[in-house]
Amino acid sequence: MTLENQVKGQWAIKEITYSGKSYKDQMYTNALIFRENNEVSIPETFHFKKDKNATWKVLENKNSITINTSTTVFDDTFDVEFINRTENDPLGIILKSDTIYIKAYKLLDFHH
């Protein structure tokens, strides 16, 4: 399965830090949705309105993705790491850059 296919879908953000500080209480929702056509839905936050033009893409030959958005907190290139899971756990993902750390779990994950 390609990285793109693994990343696509809806993710519930469990942890997010920006420059070492938790950012979770700044978000109105905790859903991060990677869609087809390189569209991404980023949570609206206390500081940023919803960016309807946000995009994402997989960087070839690297285990990373880039998100382009006006929401500074999510506008970065992230190393992608998947979390080992037990049979009953949803797939977990860690996205991290120099300033941002996001830990999320896939919603509606039927790939057991």
Residue 110, pLDDT above cutoff 80: no
- DSSP secondary structure of 34-95: E-GGGBEE---BSS----TT-EEEEETTTTEEEEE-S-GGG-EEEEEEEEP--TTSPPEEEE
d(CA 76, CA 96): 9
Condensed to tens digits (0 to 9), the pLDDT of residues 7-53 reads 999 999 999 999 999 999 999 999 999 999 999 999 998 888 889 99
For 42, residues 6+ apart whose C-beta sits below 8 A from its C-beta are 32, 50, 51, 54, 67, 69, 71, 74
CB 70 within 8 A of CB 79: no
Q: What is the pLDDT of residue 112?
A: 43
Condensed to tens digits (0 to 9), the pLDDT of residues 58-104 reads 998 889 999 999 998 899 999 999 997 777 778 899 999 999 999 99
Q: What is the pLDDT of residue 69?
A: 96
C-alpha distances out from residue 72 to 3, 9, 35, 40, 98, Å: 24, 22, 20, 14, 13
Q: What is the pLDDT of residue 19?
A: 93
CA atoms within 13 A on the CB side of 78: 25
